[in-house]
Structure 1
Amino acid sequence: MRNVSMLAVTVMIMLLGFTAVLPLDAEGIRTRITGTVRIDPTRPDGETIGLRFNEAVGVLLPADTLFVQGIEFELRLPKAVQGSESSISWTVYSSVDPDPSGERLDFNGARIISQPLPARVSMVIQIPVVDRHELRSGPFVTVIPKLMRAGDFPLMFKLAPIGKGFGPSTESAEFRLTVRPVLTDEGGISVSCAFPEGAEPVPYSVYIDDKRVEDVAGPIVLRKGARVVRVSAEGYREEVVSLSVEAGAISKVSVNLVPDAPRLQFEAPTGSIISLNGVPVPSESFDELAIEPGEHTVVCRIGDYTITRKFVAVRGKTYRVIMSVELSIQAGP
């Protein structure tokens, strides 16, 4: 007798352990999955899948939900069901197990809401996935007042007949379900900086609309619209980039930092000899030569003709050294 009691206790513990992995309000669902949609913030138009009676569509949440505030279901009703909408129900389930796929027929899930179809050609429902959202019900949109967190996915949208006696045309009628993300009005900017080859990286500052960004390690979340990004680093020229931030998207800004050392550009006749601070300047450096800030002496020589000039170079400036020789012949009276 004692062995039998112990066996009963063991069986009970096993059953309790098995049911504990399912939601408390889970129910069995038998249906055919016609498709599964993974919500993608980069595809705001979503994905459309066809389904009939006793068929369903699965919904998976992306790993990155940074700009997603809700999920939208838009169901378009075929003409064959017009007039019998109240005999057909739509249901949304959460915590569907196992993941909905076309290879299975039996699932478990928690019913969120179930209602008859409205007497319209289409219906739109939205489900929030973040605490602070801007979803609101209206004449053409119904917001389900239940927050779906990451642990509540996958979801399932299912159609089922409430009564019997449907004609063949109604039973074979195909509905069109579009599942799409409801995005916030925010986007992001990702800033990266590259230093010249061989240069030691230095700290740099990022400003957006003249406000300094303290943390640039990840995406900078902003409301959509035109933005101006400014990057500055000691010893380098300041770089300014204008762009438009789009809702639900991250714009990448890649900046190649250029040293802000003064630069010289030379223009001189062929055969000229130019020296800077007593050091000859090779002709291949005439297009651009980086120099140190401060006072410099330039000597230009062509034949027996020599010109010497001094100047003070300032960071971030480009100086053009132009040597010209004029020959003027004038006739007298």
Structure 2
Amino acid sequence: MKKHFVSMALFLISFSTLSAVSIRGNSTHILDKEITFGLNDLAAVNLEDSIFTEGIELIFTLPEELLQYRDSFAVTIYSGINTDVTPDKTVYTGRKSFFGVLPAVKKMFIDIPVKGKLDISSSFGTYVLKDTIPRDAFPILIKIEPVMKGIPSSLLSKVFHLRVSKILSGNGALSLNVDTGKDKQKEYSVFIDNKPVEDPENIPLLSAGFHQLMIRSDFFKEVTTRFAVKAGETTNLGIVLTPFNPTVQFDFPEGAKAYLDGNKLETLSGTVSSITPGEHLISVFIGDYKVSKKFTVNKDKLYKISLFLDIFIKEN
């Protein structure tokens, strides 16, 4: 971001009034990419909203004839306009957010913060507003008018050129898309640079550069990856979560009947079935005999369950 260094003091009054004032102009010009307007006209500037926009810079090209009339003209910025801004209107009500005398330069810059303070300093030919003009206070109206008497009538027909440039944040954004497959209700936690993310669908802006993403869950395998963020851009990152898939293999003799959590197993030998982590119950019937046992399944493990038969002989 460019920085300006103070070379001389300017006569400047910059303020924001809470009370509404009447705004009058000869005509209203609505800025597209750039506009030309005259003395006592109103130039309307809207804000193209973006999460990366820290502010806007108004860039004025001033008539050379004004250079010899120092401190004779001033620019005023109004915000919080009470009604829709249209070319056919010439009277509005709003708040006076800035007033400054035109410097004796061919180009003048006015930097307006829309959130927080701008990391820019005022200098000769450049004004930086200390107070923000919030997004909901746009559009703004700009008026240039004489503030001294004795100005030649030939100057009153001179025109000013205005264009607007965005002042962008040095940060970037991450748009994260996590695919959990059919398990839409199962929870997971997201960490960026080892810090928890409260809302993965609305991740705060990140500094430009490389970052580390980690996703943890009781239901899915942990994911760790690195991603890059560019200033003023959104990085799209898609992650597919893989469920934990513990399996169990059964080996029971023919003629037996086996039940897992009350559900009958169709085959008894060499069967590999997916099973959820947690506690389960296996029951095996052989004739009138029944054997049951509880067991705990951990994440992503293989379990082999078999029935061990033996004959016990006791001698008295």
| TM-score above 0.5 | yes
**Gap change, CA 1:222 and 1:200, over 3 Å in 2:** closer
User: Which one-letter code corresponds to 1:227 in the other structure?
Assistant: H
**Gap change, CA 1:244 and 1:33, over 3 Å in 2:** farther
CA-CA distance at 1:249 after TM superposition = 4.2
Residue deviations 1:293-314 (CA, integer Å, cap 9, x gap): 9xxxxxxxxxxxxxxxxxxxx9
Deviates more, 1:120-129 or 1:153-162: 153-162
Task: Give the structure-2-normalised TM-score.
Answer: 0.60
Query: What residue number does 2:175 align with?
Result: 190
Deviates more, 1:157-166 or 1:203-212: 157-166
**Gap change, CA 1:159 and 1:203, over 3 Å in 2:** same
Secondary structure of 1:220's counterpart equals coil
Query: What residue number does 2:30 align with?
Result: 35
**Gap change, CA 1:244 and 1:172, over 3 Å in 2:** farther
User: Which one-letter code corresponds to 2:152 in the other structure?
Assistant: G
Contact 1:36 1:100 in 2 (8 A): no
More helix by share: 1
Q: How many residues align?
A: 241
Match 1:221 to one of 205, 208, 218: 205
CA-CA distance at 1:255 after TM superposition = 1.7
Contact 1:235 1:261 in 2 (8 A): no
Q: Following superposition of structure 1 onto structure 2, how do residues 1-333 of structure 1 map, counting pairs within 5 Å?
A: 24-36=19-31, 47-61=33-47, 66-79=51-64, 81-84=66-69, 86-131=71-116, 133-139=118-124, 141-150=126-135, 152-162=137-147, 164-167=151-154, 173-196=158-181, 198-259=182-243, 261=245, 278=270, 315=300
* Identity, % of aligned positions: 24
User: Which one-letter code corresponds to 1:53 in the other structure?
Assistant: L
Contact 2:56 2:112 in 1 (8 A): yes
Task: Give the structure-1-normalised TM-score.
Answer: 0.58
CA-CA distance at 1:206 after TM superposition = 1.4
Residue ranges of structure 2 left out of the alignment (5+ in a row): 1-16, 248-268, 277-298, 302-316
CA-CA distance at 1:150 after TM superposition = 4.8
- Between the aligned partners of 2:271 and 2:81, the Cα distance in structure 1 is 78
User: Which one-letter code corresponds to 1:73 in the other structure?
Assistant: L
- Between the aligned partners of 1:201 and 1:146, the Cα distance in structure 2 is 45
Residue deviations 1:308-327 (CA, integer Å, cap 9, x gap): xxxxxx949xxxxxxxxxxx
User: Which one-letter code corresponds to 2:21 in the other structure?
Assistant: A
Contact 1:36 1:101 in 2 (8 A): no
**Gap change, CA 1:26 and 1:73, over 3 Å in 2:** same
Query: What residue number does 1:12 align with?
Result: none
Contact 2:105 2:125 in 1 (8 A): no
Contact 2:107 2:125 in 1 (8 A): no
- Between the aligned partners of 1:156 and 1:86, the Cα distance in structure 2 is 21
CA-CA distance at 1:205 after TM superposition = 2.0
User: Which one-letter code corresponds to 1:231 in the other structure?
Assistant: I
- Between the aligned partners of 1:114 and 1:207, the Cα distance in structure 2 is 46
